[in-house]
Amino acid sequence: MKRSFGIVGGGIVGCATALFLKRAGHDVTVFERVETPRAVGAGLVLQPSGLGVLEKLGLREALEARGAKLRVVRCLGDGGRQIMALRYPQPYDHGLGIHRGILFETLYHAVLDAGIEYRPGHEALGIEQNGDIVFRTQNRERFTESRPTWIIANGAKSRLRNVFPVDLMRKNDWGALWTVVPDEAFGRSDVLEQRVRENEIFLGLLPIGDSPDGPGNHTSVFWSLPLDALKRWRERGVGVWVSEVAKIDERAAELLRFVHDDDPPILAKYRDVVMKRFVHQRGASTMIFVGDAAHAMSPQLGNGTNLGLLDAECLVENLDDLKNFERIRKKQVRAYGFTSRMLTPMFQGHSHVLSMFRDLAVPFAQNVWPFSSVLSQMMRGDFLLEREPEPSLRQRQVRGTTRRA
Ligand SMILES: Cc1cc2nc3c(=O)[nH]c(=O)nc-3n(C[C@H](O)[C@H](O)[C@H](O)COP(=O)(O)OP(=O)(O)OC[C@H]3O[C@@H](n4cnc5c(N)ncnc54)[C@H](O)[C@@H]3O)c2cc1C
């Protein structure tokens, strides 16, 4: 039966949900705060689980052509000592480093091509008792809209959560500086490289392939820092940052020669959000929270986008059984949220004990079953995932079975 949905937030998860709903034959309107949607941001990793969802939307191939296929995630400590080298095992043989803007742009254009109504310049201000949502347009006009079902996909800072119970909502004391730089040599290599010193310094080099401006090889560089030190960093300027980076990794410092004070790196802040429930009844409307609006977390596990894409897919498969949607998604995202809260202080904090523990525990865990299996599943985004494998994986599994036979 054809139903009518309103989606608040036309970002990655909002667009993916809109596409799945439209394909299932429903009416969808997306309300997005930003007046001119554009490809912005730095790099992110799409894990095999998220790539599977994008494959179902028919977008995987186009994205893979523009990103960098990752086969190894490596973390090096003092003096280049290897703490971790996780390889994507067969048949899930790669993740994808990609510019966030390219992922958004691809989904956004697919939404427009599908004829979905996407209304930019519409900011949701709140939810009325009867389930209507109050919007403000770019001309500062206010109006209310009603829909039998609202999907709330407006990200980690969502204020629409305020009228519903949450188990945890906490801003992280640490953030990261991100920038994207041209890198002909390694910008499409297959290793995500991380360097740590104790837990106070955390540098990452993520190959991402193209930038939204065009083809070429690029690397997304991130550098973690405590938020209370941010003002000091800003005052000292980009040059001082680059010399700090050079003490850890010459190659990264060389890449950062492209970064200047008039085009400084982006500061990303994180927050942890655990909602009690993702599905609520308010007046005549059902409200369903997905993506970061439902379960934001620090990006230590590199899975926020993947979890949101899995929400979109699972929601549309369970529209007639929202309890099942909530059960399936809660199980997985709570495990990721918990692990992310446990791991983050080992990579971003001031405790030497925790960093020593990390340097002993991670090499042990990656070599000893069942910890090795859990680590690998956590990275791939399919830990505690209840879902059919994506079509290409099914084919590869069938081919593998045939070959073995
Ligand atoms: C530094 C950093 C690195 C990350 N790296 C990774 C990674 O490697 N892999 C990974 O999987 N994830 C990563 N993530 C997480 C990932 O970026 C998020 O999980 C993902 O973007 C969530 O998508 P979303 O659509 O739920 O929210 P968002 O991307 O935040 O989109 C929300 C949308 O809602 C709109 N909006 C907001 N408020 C309103 C309103 N009131 N009314 C209407 N519209 C509104 C916004 O403009 C936006 O378009 C990272 C995050 C950060 C900060």
Ligand 1 centroid, distance to 365 Cα (angstroms)? 30
Ligand 1 centroid, distance to 164 Cα (angstroms)? 20
CB of residue 70 inside a 6 A radius of ligand 1 = no
- Give the separation between CA 19 and CA 112, rounded to whole angstroms: 10
Render pLDDT for 92-101 as a digit per residue (tens, 0 to 9). 789 999 999 9
Whether residue 93 lies inside any domain: the answer is no
CB of residue 123 inside a 6 A radius of ligand 1 = yes
Whether residue 88 lies inside any domain: the answer is no
159 lies in the same domain as 188: no
372 lies in the same domain as 308: yes
Ligand 1 centroid, distance to 191 Cα (angstroms)? 24
CB of residue 302 inside a 6 A radius of ligand 1 = yes
DSSP string, 257-325: GG-BTTBPPEEEEEEEEEES-SEEEETTEEEEE-THHHH---GGGS-HHHHHHHHHHHHHHTTT-HHHH
Tell me if the bond preceding 389 is cis, omega within 30° of 0.
no
Q: State residue 351's pLDDT score.
A: 86
Q: Identify the CATH number of the domain in which residue 35 sits.
A: 3.50.50.60
305 lies in the same domain as 259: no
Last residue in a domain, options 269, 294, 309:
269
Q: State residue 394's pLDDT score.
A: 61
Whether residue 374 lies inside any domain: the answer is yes
Last residue in a domain, options 215, 239, 269:
269
CB of residue 153 inside a 6 A radius of ligand 1 = yes
Sign of CA dihedral 71, 376, 64, 396: positive
Q: State residue 323's pLDDT score.
A: 97
Q: State residue 402's pLDDT score.
A: 37
Question: Confidence band (pLDDT; 50, 70, 90) for 396?
Answer: low
Number of domains in the chain: 2
Closest atom, ligand 1, to C-alpha of 307 = 11
CB of residue 59 inside a 6 A radius of ligand 1 = no
- Give the separation between CA 100 and CA 104, rounded to whole angstroms: 6
CB of residue 64 inside a 6 A radius of ligand 1 = no
Whether residue 87 lies inside any domain: the answer is no
Whether residue 404 lies inside any domain: the answer is no
The share of the chain scoring above pLDDT 70, in percent, equals 96
Q: State residue 92's pLDDT score.
A: 74
Whether residue 41 lies inside any domain: the answer is yes
Q: 368 pLDDT exceeds 80?
A: yes
Tell me which residue has its CA closest to atom 49 in ligand 1. 11
CB of residue 99 inside a 6 A radius of ligand 1 = no
Whether residue 92 lies inside any domain: the answer is no
Ligand 1 centroid, distance to 155 Cα (angstroms)? 5
112 lies in the same domain as 143: yes
109 lies in the same domain as 213: no
Q: 112 pLDDT exceeds 50?
A: yes
382 lies in the same domain as 236: no
In b/e form, how buried is each residue of 260-285, taking b as 16+ CB within 10 angstroms?
A: eeeeebeeeebebbbbeebbbebeeb
- Give the separation between CA 367 and CA 254, rounded to whole angstroms: 34
Last residue in a domain, options 252, 269, 286:
269
314 lies in the same domain as 298: yes
Among 292, 333, 336, the mutation site with the greatest number of ligand 1 atoms within 8 A of its Cβ is 292
Ligand 1 centroid, distance to 356 Cα (angstroms)? 32
Q: State residue 259's pLDDT score.
A: 87
162 lies in the same domain as 288: yes
Whether residue 216 lies inside any domain: the answer is yes
Tell me which residue has its CA closest to atom 21 in ligand 1. 305
CB of residue 95 inside a 6 A radius of ligand 1 = no
CB of residue 33 inside a 6 A radius of ligand 1 = yes
Render pLDDT for 4-22 as a digit per residue (tens, 0 to 9). 999 999 999 999 999 999 9
Range(s) of the domain holding residue 148: 4-65+100-170+270-396
315 lies in the same domain as 262: no
Sequence-ordered list of residues with C-beta below 8 angstroms from that of 80, at least 6 positions apart, any chain: none
Q: State residue 401's pLDDT score.
A: 44
Render pLDDT for 195-246 as a digit per residue (tens, 0 to 9). 998 878 899 999 999 999 999 999 999 998 888 887 777 788 888 888 888 9
165 lies in the same domain as 189: no
Strands 191-197 vs 72-76: parallel, antiparallel or unpaired: parallel
The token pair that represents 155 in the structure block: 């990200």
11 lies in the same domain as 107: yes
Q: How much helix, strand and coil, in percent to the nearest 5, is found in the chain?
A: 40, 30, 30
Q: State residue 280's pLDDT score.
A: 98
Question: Confidence band (pLDDT; 50, 70, 90) for 180?
Answer: very high
> Cβ distance 221 to 178 under 8 Å?
yes
189 lies in the same domain as 136: no
Among 7, 73, 154, 160, the mutation site with the greatest number of ligand 1 atoms within 8 A of its Cβ is 154
Ligand 1 centroid, distance to 224 Cα (angstroms)? 18
Compute the chain's Rg from CA coordinates: 21
Render pLDDT for 26-71 as a digit per residue (tens, 0 to 9). 999 999 999 999 888 899 999 999 999 999 999 999 999 999 999 9
